[in-house]
């Protein structure tokens, strides 16, 4: 027991005496007597018992002393803690009130812009568009693919200023390093005359702006993003370079069974893939007809058709594949063909391919490439978010942009009418009188598409219908009979609109306005193609979201179209606050900021739906 006491004493003596700082801000301060001082007092008291005092008494006194010291130390610690906590609390309150003052200084617009930037940063963190193998191995190419093509010498000799003037003349905006020169005539592009002559028979005489800059860019082997109005000839701009590449490969060493393809074109819907395939067939046939060039083989690879019917193509060397993602992945996984000699990947309606559910499919497809490829992305709409994302995924990309991405085709006369829900069907009949056929009627809802067709048939109008729940035969029948002119009206769900090129559509009637303005741009774009003019009539009413109406209002203003009074009266909250009216980087809509973007909201829902439809061959 004695030795225990001794050690306790040693402990007590070794303890440093607490230093005390007076805190004059602390109202709860109580005068404090330092431990050393108290201990001295205690010891003085203890010593008054005398040396002969009872040992037990002394021991008790000493224990009391030690207890007292312990309690004092605890109290000191508590005070220290309280002091620190108070300081943190005060600091937090100060920061908070500083922020409140700063926030109060910010306008609503600045706050909204900050919120938008945060959302944009969050979605910008998506994975690069490259195959998993490339990502895993950290493979990234620094140089574009080399090709043997060169512009004619007289064009090479022209100054950069001259090229700039040509671009300016055609409203072409470019971005990138060492951009190939624009070429204003097909004859100067070093295309076989068989093709140039054939184009003439189809009234394709001079290249459109996207073609005159896009074709030389693709011929030079450059990755590119091509953005141009609906109906401006993008299909030719990305198919012609692939045809020339295939021709060159075939010329070097003819492909035999099991070899190829040299390049692939990906489309988001079966109908668009079929249309592109038919174009490629016509152009490659025209090329071979002259007898100077070999016949190139093209495969259509989409869901809903029997691939067996094309065994004659697959039994030969295959040059070009036009595909929807689901069926293409299926064929590659089954080893029906491979991408060992594939050098060219083009995505049509690329923003849809990347944005709305096919992103993983695209990565999967890329993983089948075993060598560097040339990658091209084309669309009429390409919001900044997709452009940025695509640009970081391509090799020294060239951006070729004709007009604002997402702007409406100026050859379409846009009419917007306020029509009550219950009056729409009757008014539709009236609208059909405005022009001669063919007319396309769009609705966002499959049931409504069926209802409209039924109503029109009842009224004696020759109408066909197309939407995602129709069988492949029904879809093909609808397109064929409408294209051939056997049917006057095609009623379609919105998704059927992308990229389809029907002859001379006179009038597009949008029965229900799509929430996303990009869809509207694609839908009205079925008319006013290849330099012809057309009309688009759109029904809106109370059920159309105000934000969609604002997007529409700005789009009409941008295109110099008449803005009806009910649209004019809608105020933009951003304009009222004096904020910037930049387009939404997610959907390109001009009437809202990213935080109110309807597309952002819908993306997840659509992605899930498209995953469910993945084995549907990538159709809509
Ligand atoms: N240089 C040209 N001169 C005249 N017509 C052309 C030219 N190039 C293509 N065309 C025609 O223009 C029409 C529209 O072309 P295409 O379908 O390629 O447009 P697009 O830009 O892909 O449209 P969308 O964005 O709607 O898919 C086609 O019928 C095509 O034959």
Measured by CA distance, the residue closest to atom 2 of ligand 1 is 204
What is the torsional sign of CA 403, 409, 413, 416? negative
Atom index in ligand 1 nearest the CA of residue 208 equals 1
What is the torsional sign of CA 487, 489, 492, 494? positive
Of 354, 370, 402, at which residue does a domain stop?
A: 402
The segment with the largest mean pLDDT, out of 108-117, 142-151, 201-210, is 201-210
Atom index in ligand 1 nearest the CA of residue 279 equals 31
Atom index in ligand 1 nearest the CA of residue 499 equals 27
Q: What is Dmax (Cα atoms) for the chain?
A: 133
How many A from CA of 99 to the centre of ligand 1? 55
Nearest C-alpha neighbor of 376 from the set 560, 145, 545: 145
| DSSP, res 204 | -
* H/E element, 353: helix 350-355
Ligand 1 probe mutation, 501, 504, 521, 536, most atoms within 8 A of CB: 501
Atom index in ligand 1 nearest the CA of residue 526 equals 26
Which residues are CB-contacts of 546 (< 8 A; sequence separation ≥ 6)?
570
Sequential DSSP letters for 103-155: HHHS-HHHHHHHHHHHHHHHHHTPPPSS-HHHHHHT----SPPP-S----HHH
Q: Has residue 119 been placed in a domain? A: no
How many A from CA of 204 to the centre of ligand 1? 9
Atom index in ligand 1 nearest the CA of residue 186 equals 1
> Are 241 and 317 members of one domain?
yes
262-292 per-position pLDDT tens digit: 999 999 988 899 999 999 999 999 999 989 9
Measured by CA distance, the residue closest to atom 3 of ligand 1 is 204
> Are 177 and 279 members of one domain?
yes
Proportion of the chain above pLDDT 70, given as a percent: 76
* pTM of the shown model: 0.74
Give 35's pLDDT tier (boundaries 50, 70, 90). low
Q: How many domains does the chain have?
A: 2
> Are 382 and 235 members of one domain?
yes
Atom index in ligand 1 nearest the CA of residue 237 equals 18
pLDDT at 619: 42
Measured by CA distance, the residue closest to atom 4 of ligand 1 is 204
Give 322's pLDDT tier (boundaries 50, 70, 90). very high
How many A from CA of 501 to the centre of ligand 1? 8
Separation of alpha carbons 193 and 182, rounded Å: 20
Q: Has residue 167 been placed in a domain? A: yes
Measured by CA distance, the residue closest to atom 19 of ligand 1 is 231
How many A from CA of 5 to the centre of ligand 1? 101
Q: Has residue 134 been placed in a domain? A: no
Q: What are residue 374's DSSP bridge partners? A: 344
Measured by CA distance, the residue closest to atom 27 of ligand 1 is 499
187-237 per-position pLDDT tens digit: 999 999 999 999 999 999 999 999 999 999 999 999 999 999 999 999 999
> Are 167 and 191 members of one domain?
yes
pLDDT at 359: 82
> Are 372 and 439 members of one domain?
no
Strands (E), 194-248: 224-227
> Are 343 and 287 members of one domain?
yes
Residue 614 in this model has a pLDDT that exceeds 50: no
Atom index in ligand 1 nearest the CA of residue 235 equals 18
Separation of alpha carbons 523 and 515, rounded Å: 12
Ligand 1 probe mutation, 239, 505, 529, most atoms within 8 A of CB: 529
Separation of alpha carbons 25 and 49, rounded Å: 43
**Model ipTM value:** 0.99
How many A from CA of 208 to the centre of ligand 1? 9
Q: What is the mean pLDDT of residues 8-28?
A: 38
**Cβ distance 336 to 306 under 8 Å?**
no
Q: Has residue 133 been placed in a domain? A: no
pLDDT at 108: 62
How many A from CA of 530 to the centre of ligand 1? 5
Give 314's pLDDT tier (boundaries 50, 70, 90). confident
pLDDT at 31: 47
Nearest C-alpha neighbor of 381 from the set 501, 520, 268, 512: 520
Atom index in ligand 1 nearest the CA of residue 202 equals 31
148-196 per-position pLDDT tens digit: 899 999 999 999 999 999 999 999 999 999 999 999 999 999 999 999 9
How many A from CA of 231 to the centre of ligand 1? 5
> Are 364 and 447 members of one domain?
no
Nearest C-alpha neighbor of 246 from the set 278, 291, 288: 288
31 vs 375, higher pLDDT: 375
Measured by CA distance, the residue closest to atom 22 of ligand 1 is 234
Measured by CA distance, the residue closest to atom 14 of ligand 1 is 231
Q: Has residue 319 been placed in a domain? A: yes
pLDDT at 12: 38
How many A from CA of 500 to the centre of ligand 1? 10
Nearest C-alpha neighbor of 466 from the set 269, 252, 308: 269
Ligand 1 probe mutation, 188, 228, 232, 282, most atoms within 8 A of CB: 232
How many A from CA of 183 to the centre of ligand 1? 18
Atom index in ligand 1 nearest the CA of residue 525 equals 26
* Sole residue written with tokens 């979605």: 123
Q: What is the mean pLDDT of residues 516-545?
A: 93
Q: Has residue 155 been placed in a domain? A: yes
Range of the domain at 441: 412-570
> Are 200 and 296 members of one domain?
yes
pLDDT at 22: 31
Give 8's pLDDT tier (boundaries 50, 70, 90). very low
Nearest C-alpha neighbor of 151 from the set 190, 187, 114: 190
478-491 per-position pLDDT tens digit: 999 999 999 999 99
> Are 303 and 372 members of one domain?
yes
Atom index in ligand 1 nearest the CA of residue 236 equals 18
Of 570, 585, 606, at which residue does a domain stop?
A: 570
Nearest C-alpha neighbor of 144 from the set 180, 191, 172, 173: 180
Give 399's pLDDT tier (boundaries 50, 70, 90). very high
How many A from CA of 287 to the centre of ligand 1? 19
Rg of the chain on CA atoms, in Å: 37
What is the domain-level CATH number for residue 339? 3.40.50.300
| DSSP, res 586 | T
Of 369, 402, 435, at which residue does a domain stop?
A: 402
Residue 345 in this model has a pLDDT that exceeds 50: yes
Q: What is the mean pLDDT of residues 77-91?
A: 68
Q: Has residue 562 been placed in a domain? A: yes
How many A from CA of 411 to the centre of ligand 1? 13
Q: Has residue 589 been placed in a domain? A: no
* H/E element, 12: helix 2-14
Q: Residue by residue, what is the 3-state secondary structure of 427-475?
A: HHHHHHCCCCCCEEEEECCHHHHHHHHHHHHHCCCCEEEECCCCCHHHH
Q: What is the mean pLDDT of residues 527-547?
A: 93
Residue 1 in this model has a pLDDT that exceeds 80: no
Structure tokens at 330: 């299926």
Give the ranges where 499-564 is alpha helix by DSSP (H): 517-524, 546-558
Nearest C-alpha neighbor of 404 from the set 386, 381, 377: 381
Query: CB atoms < 10 A from the CB of 604, how many?
Result: 10
> Are 477 and 398 members of one domain?
no
* Sole residue written with tokens 């190939």: 180
Separation of alpha carbons 358 and 360, rounded Å: 6
Contacts of the segment 80-85: beta carbons below 8 A, 24+ positions apart: 83/23, 83/26
Proportion of the chain above pLDDT 90, given as a percent: 51
Which residues are CB-contacts of 433 (< 8 A; sequence separation ≥ 6)?
none
Ligand 1 probe mutation, 231, 269, 499, most atoms within 8 A of CB: 231
290-303 per-position pLDDT tens digit: 899 999 999 999 98
Characterize 169-192 residue by residue with b for buried, 16 or more Cβ atoms within 10 angstroms of its Cβ, and e for exposed.
eeebebebeebbbbbbebebbebb
Going by their DSSP bridges, the two strands 534-540 and 398-402 should be labelled as: unpaired
Distance of CA 317 to the CA centre of its chain: 35
Q: Which residues lie with the beta carbon below 6 Å from any ligand 1 atom?
A: 202-204, 207-208, 211, 228, 230-236, 380, 499, 501, 525, 529-530
Query: CB atoms < 10 A from the CB of 407, how many?
Result: 21
Which strands form 398-402's sheet, in the order they lie side by side? 172-175, 398-402, 224-227, 374-379, 344-347, 263-266, 320-323, 298-301
Atom index in ligand 1 nearest the CA of residue 275 equals 17
Q: What is the mean pLDDT of residues 55-82?
A: 76
> Are 456 and 308 members of one domain?
no
Residue 50 in this model has a pLDDT that exceeds 60: no
* Region of poorest pLDDT, from 135-149, 295-309, 472-486, 576-590: 576-590
Separation of alpha carbons 508 and 489, rounded Å: 10
> Are 242 and 391 members of one domain?
yes
405 vs 443, higher pLDDT: 443
Atom index in ligand 1 nearest the CA of residue 380 equals 25
């Amino acid at each position: 027991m004695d030795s225990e006491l001794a050690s306790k004493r040693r402990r007590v003596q070794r303890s440093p005496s607490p230093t005390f700082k007076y805190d004059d801000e602390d109202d709860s301060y109580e005068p404090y007597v330092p431990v050393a001082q108290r201990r001295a007092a205690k010891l003085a008291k203890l010593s008054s018992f005398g040396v002969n005092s009872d040992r037990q008494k002394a021991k008790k006194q000493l224990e009391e002393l030690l207890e007292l010291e312990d309690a004092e130390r605890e109290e000191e610690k508590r005070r220290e803690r309280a002091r620190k906590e108070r300081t943190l609390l005060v600091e937090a309150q100060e920061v908070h009130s500083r922020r409140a003052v700063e926030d109060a200084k910010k306008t609503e617009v600045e706050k909204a812009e900050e919120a938008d930037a945060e959302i944009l940063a969050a979605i910008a963190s998506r994975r690069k568009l490259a195959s998993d193998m490339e990502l895993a191995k950290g493979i990234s190419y620094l140089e574009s693919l080399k090709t043997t093509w060169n512009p004619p010498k007289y064009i090479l000799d022209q100054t950069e200023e001259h090229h700039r003037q040509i671009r300016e003349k055609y409203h072409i905006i470019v971005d990138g390093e060492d951009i190939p020169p624009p070429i204003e005539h097909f004859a100067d592009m070093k295309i076989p005359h068989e093709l140039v002559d054939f184009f003439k028979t189809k009234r394709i005489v001079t290249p459109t702006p996207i073609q005159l800059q896009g074709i030389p860019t693709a011929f030079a082997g450059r990755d590119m993003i091509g953005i141009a109005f609906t109906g401006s000839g993008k299909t030719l701009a990305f198919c012609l370079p692939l045809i020339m590449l295939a021709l060159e490969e075939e010329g070097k060493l003819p492909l035999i069974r099991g070899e190829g393809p040299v390049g692939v074109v990906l489309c988001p819907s079966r109908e668009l893939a079929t249309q592109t395939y038919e174009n490629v067939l016509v152009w490659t046939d025209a090329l071979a007809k002259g007898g100077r060039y070999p016949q190139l083989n093209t495969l259509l690879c989409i869901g809903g058709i029997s691939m067996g019917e094309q065994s004659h193509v697959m039994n030969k060397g295959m040059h070009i594949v036009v595909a929807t993602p689901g069926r293409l992945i299926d064929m590659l996984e089954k080893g029906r063909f491979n991408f060992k000699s594939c050098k060219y990947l083009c995505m049509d309606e690329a923003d849809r391919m990347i944005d709305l559910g096919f992103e993983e499919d695209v990565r999967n497809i890329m993983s089948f490439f075993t060598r560097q490829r040339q990658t091209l992305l084309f669309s009429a709409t390409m919001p900044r978010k997709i452009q940025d994302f695509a640009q970081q995924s391509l090799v020294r990309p060239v951006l070729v942009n004709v007009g604002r991405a997402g702007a409406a085709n100026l050859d379409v006369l846009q009419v917007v009418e306020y029509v009550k829900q219950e009056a729409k069907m009757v008014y539709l009949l009236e609208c059909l009188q405005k022009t001669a056929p063919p007319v396309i009627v769009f609705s966002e809802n499959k049931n409504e598409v069926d209802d409209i067709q039924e109503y029109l048939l009842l009224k004696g109008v020759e109408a066909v219908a197309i939407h995602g729940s129709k069988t492949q035969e029904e879809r093909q029948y609808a397109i064929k009979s409408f294209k051939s002119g056997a049917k006057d009206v095609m009623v379609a769900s919105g998704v059927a609109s992308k990229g389809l090129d029907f002859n001379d559509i006179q009038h597009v009637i949008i029965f229900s306005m799509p929430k996303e303005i990009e869809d509207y741009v694609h839908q009205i774009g079925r008319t006013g193609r290849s330099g012809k003019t057309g009309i688009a009539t759109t029904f809106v009413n109370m059920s159309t979201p105000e934000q969609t109406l604002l997007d529409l209002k700005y789009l009409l203003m941008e295109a110099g179209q008449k803005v009806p009074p009910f649209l004019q009266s809608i105020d933009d909250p951003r304009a009222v606050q004096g904020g910037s009216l930049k387009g939404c980087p997610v959907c390109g809509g001009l009437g809202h900021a990213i935080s109110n973007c309807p597309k952002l909201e819908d993306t997840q829902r659509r992605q899930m739906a498209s995953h469910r439809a993945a084995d549907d061959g990538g159709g809509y």
